[in-house]
Amino acid sequence: MTLKKWKVISTENLLHKGFFTLRVDKCELPDKRVMPHYYVFELSDWVNIVPITKEGFVILIKQYRHAGGEIFYEIPGGGIDSRNNEDPMTAAQRELLEETGYQAKTIEYKGFHYPNPALQNNKMHTFLAKDCVPIADQNLDEFEDIQVELVSKNEVRKKLKNGTLNHSLIVASLVRCLDELF
């Protein structure tokens, strides 16, 4: 059997708050069965940046994530400003500077992945930022508390292996940059 996409029969927005919309779709499957309620979170695309200093250190950040109830090691990243038609590259440069105060000499697009295609419609775009240098203080959003840490590539590998780096979106973006990291 060849898999086929589902047909959307109807869609209804249930909730729109800030950066996301919750909708429910009624879908017809290829074999004509009808899924009466399929819930989807509509979100803007996101960016993750794997930044490496000109000395070869990876710039990691640490921040508290309330839903997880823990402090997480991460890489810089955030939402693409869809209200201003921001492109992923511009968002990556902005987020790197805002969250770390660093700017990259070169930034390379490494592709995208879907954070959770079962429930969300957005993509995570990954960028590799090379030869990063500090040029400013952090310029954090109102409710961000972020600590910057320079970590050796070997230490990043250890944190991946021992589970200290355990945020799946971060791990997936690091995988996109494996050739540069290890």
User: Do both 31 and 57 map to the same domain?
Assistant: no
Summarize the confidence of residues 27-56 as an average pLDDT. 97
User: Do both 56 and 108 map to the same domain?
Assistant: yes
pTM for the complete prediction? 0.94
Gap between the Cα atoms of 60 and 49, Å rounded: 10
Task: Take residue 136 and report the two structure tokens written for it.
Answer: 């400013």
Overall residue count recorded for the chain in this entry: 182
pLDDT above 80: residue 1: no
Phi-psi region of 86 (alpha: psi -120 to 50; beta: other; left: phi over 0): beta
User: Do both 17 and 102 map to the same domain?
Assistant: no
Q: How many domains does the chain have?
A: 2
**DSSP three-state, residue 148:** strand
**DSSP three-state, residue 117:** coil
**DSSP three-state, residue 134:** strand
Q: Are 78 and 46 in contact (CB under 8 A)?
A: yes
User: Do both 30 and 114 map to the same domain?
Assistant: no
Residue 24 vs residues 32, 101, 119: alpha-carbon distances, Å: 19, 40, 11
What pLDDT score does 69 carry? 97
User: Do both 55 and 74 map to the same domain?
Assistant: yes
User: Do both 28 and 112 map to the same domain?
Assistant: no
User: Do both 113 and 71 map to the same domain?
Assistant: yes
Gap between the Cα atoms of 48 and 95, Å rounded: 9
The number of CA neighbours under 13 Å toward the Cβ of 152 is 3
Whether residue 136 lies inside any domain: the answer is yes
Helices (H) and strands (E) in the chain, counts: 4, 11
User: Do both 73 and 11 map to the same domain?
Assistant: no
Whether residue 167 lies inside any domain: the answer is yes
What pLDDT score does 83 carry? 85
Strand 7-17 vs strand 147-151: parallel, antiparallel, or unpaired? unpaired
Ranges of beta strands (E only) in 44-162 are 46-53, 58-65, 70-74, 77-79, 102-103, 106-113, 124-134, 147-151
> What mean pLDDT, rounded, does the chain reach?
97
Question: Sorting pLDDT into bands at 50, 70 and 90, what band is 5?
Answer: very high
Q: 5: closest CA among 24, 28, 22? A: 28
What CATH number should be reported for the domain holding residue 165? 3.90.79.10
Whether residue 101 lies inside any domain: the answer is yes
User: Do both 98 and 28 map to the same domain?
Assistant: no
User: Which carries the bigger pLDDT value, residue 57 or residue 19?
Assistant: 57
- pLDDT tens across 84-138, in order? 899 999 999 999 999 999 999 999 999 999 999 999 999 999 999 999 999 999 9
- Parent domain of 146: 46-181
Whether residue 79 lies inside any domain: the answer is yes
What pLDDT score does 18 carry? 87
Question: Sorting pLDDT into bands at 50, 70 and 90, what band is 19?
Answer: confident
User: Do both 27 and 71 map to the same domain?
Assistant: no
User: Do both 68 and 137 map to the same domain?
Assistant: yes
Show Cβ contacts of residue 6 under 8 Å, excluding neighbours closer than 6 positions. Answer: 27, 28, 29, 30, 35
